[in-house]
A and B are shown apart, each in its own frame.
Chain A
Amino acid sequence: MFGATRPVRPLRGPDATPLIQAEGLGLERGGRTILDRVSLSVRSGQVVVVIGPNGAGKTSLLRILLGLWQSSRGRITRARRMRIGYMPQHVQVDPILPLSVRRFLTLRHRAPEARLREQLRRVGVPELLDAPIQTLSGGEMQRVLLARALIGEPDLLVLDEPAQGVDVVGQGEVFDLIDRLRSETGCGVLMVSHELHLVMAAADVVVCINQHVCCTGRPEEVSRHPEYQRLFPDAGVHGIGIYTHHHDHVHDLAGEAKPVNGAGGVADHAR
């Protein structure tokens, strides 16, 4: 397996080929079109966010990209030996199963204690290592899920609604955390979300889908796009209230943390 004839492409670095690239994905289920000619790619260090209304096919797209479902059309190219860290939308462990956070983190990969502690510290819940997993709050669970996704040192983090079931303050923290992890590890991030204003601030590229790709680009471009405004009328016509977080650093890749233009653009979130 290791005597590969093809050269291993670099996974990291600015001119790396995409970690994952989907071209013309289509999906039909029971005669209904779920996805139609959807293309997107994620590179190292890049945060790509898929948004769309309910029933737009966001989760189906994610499942296809993860290899859980087969697409009806199109193809997916993955970087060789790419490791995916996946954070599902909702994990609830029945109380009948006695499971500590420690066991939960090592269900797939055994890892030394120091590594587990390091990952939990990274996501801000170091004290939870031996807690029964059923006792965690929604926000704690999201963090533990993120820690589990990180244990395998992924090249690509795939997050399905990472702030689901977390209150607004917690949501800001979750997206801040994802942003920080991206800069610390240099991994690519692909996430699906409908927490528009929060998630768009964390994104380098936004892909707005409604079966097909409606528009794609940098968050501020997408938020001005007429298709976007038609899909999310609540977001307002003067651009979206982009939640800016407090950067103490600048990203070297496409992740410029620009200030938001226009009055009323900056949502002031209580922290």
Chain B
Amino acid sequence: MLDDFVTRAILAGLMVAVVAGPLGAFMVWRRMAYFGDTVSHSALLGVALGFLLGANLNLLVTLVCVMVAVILVFLQRRQQLASDTLLGILAHSALSLGLVAVAFVEGLRVDLMAYLFGDILAVTRGDLAAIAIGGALALVLLILLWRPLLAITVHEELAQVEGIPVLPVRLGLMLLIALVIASAMQVVGVLLITALMIIPAATARRFARTPEQMALFGAGFGVLAVLGGIWGSFTHDTPTGPSIVVAAMLAFVVLNFLPWPGGRRREGA
């Protein structure tokens, strides 16, 4: 069954969507969309380093993403520059550094498009295993961190006074983001990863009454986007990664902006 490349693609996409949705909810709540973008742009640097050192790509991408995320958190604390300026500088510098680094790797002919926009149809059994491991780790970490993360998202100082170890929890979130980026890179590519996290979660908001519902529905909409995108890509011969994002976007628009029978916006309780 795993011999079929479409099956592998679907499996890879589903595994990523199931983690990206719930994590995306946190990124939406914590206003980290641009942060996620910056970190995922730096993933390309991890790819280049992986080729240079001949090491496991997923591992290096995860490492580089964690490092960039931690550096970002500390730079943001110093608050010399506005947060969006800092992210704007780093997002594009990281991407460009990655592109330059890839060019430096001698004798390497990388299909850059595959890393930038994903190449889900080329997922091998080995990739599938890597995605499964990374995704499972991320899911476990997310479940363990769920309550403290929610507490610091609502009010960080209150959480700290109440005894939540804020810094470790935040570092855990960075690791989580890095793991998901490393897993999702092959599915939608470094430029589109954030979309797969943010759009399904944002779509889910309207239907959710609790944080957990929003996370679960986010995973659900992510799954639909992956299936829709792969189907669209197959039937219309379009690039798969962008097709997945387009599918997610369509679901968001249809479910949030089109008039909905009896779907008046909930006001109050």
Residues of A that sit less than 8 Å from B by CB: 63, 66-68, 84, 86, 88, 91, 93-94, 96-100, 103-104, 107-109, 130-132, 135, 148, 152, 158
- Which of B136-144, B147-155, B176-184, B248-256 sits within the interface? B147-155
Q: List 22 A-B contacts (CB under 8 A).
A: A63-B157, A67-B160, A68-B157, A68-B160, A86-B157, A86-B162, A88-B158, A91-B158, A97-B29, A97-B214, A98-B205, A98-B211, A100-B210, A107-B151, A107-B154, A108-B159, A108-B163, A108-B164, A130-B269, A135-B268, A148-B158, A152-B162
A98 to B210, CA, bound (A): 5
B269 with A131: CB separation less than 8 A: yes
Within 8 Å CB of B163, what residues of A?
A: 108
Assuming A91-B154, A98-B213, A99-B211, is B269 touching A132 (CB within 8 A)? yes
- Which of B154, B202, B269 makes the CB contact (< 8 A) with A104? B154
Within 8 Å CB of A99, what residues of B?
A: 154, 210-211
B154 with A98: CB separation less than 8 A: no
Interface string of B61-74 (1 = CB under 8 A from A): 00000000000000
* B contacts with A: majority SS: helix
Within 8 Å CB of B81, what residues of A?
A: none
Shortest CB-to-CB span from B252 to chain A, Å, is 13
B155 with A88: CB separation less than 8 A: yes
A94 to B202, CA, bound (A): 13
Within 8 Å CB of A88, what residues of B?
A: 155, 157-158
Within 8 Å CB of A108, what residues of B?
A: 151, 159, 162-164
A132 to B268, CA, bound (A): 7
A103 to B214, CA, bound (A): 14
B147 with A107: CB separation less than 8 A: yes
B114 lies within 8 A of chain A by Cβ: no
B161 with A66: CB separation less than 8 A: yes
Shortest CB-to-CB span from B231 to chain A, Å, is 30
Within 8 Å CB of B110, what residues of A?
A: none
B2 lies within 8 A of chain A by Cβ: no
Q: What is the chain B residue whose CB lies nearest that of A91?
A: B155
A96 with B158: CB separation less than 8 A: no
Among A63, A88, A107, find the residue whose CB has the most chain B CB atoms closer than 10 A: A107
Within 8 Å CB of B158, what residues of A?
A: 86, 88, 91, 148
Shortest CB-to-CB span from A119 to chain B, Å, is 15
B209 lies within 8 A of chain A by Cβ: yes
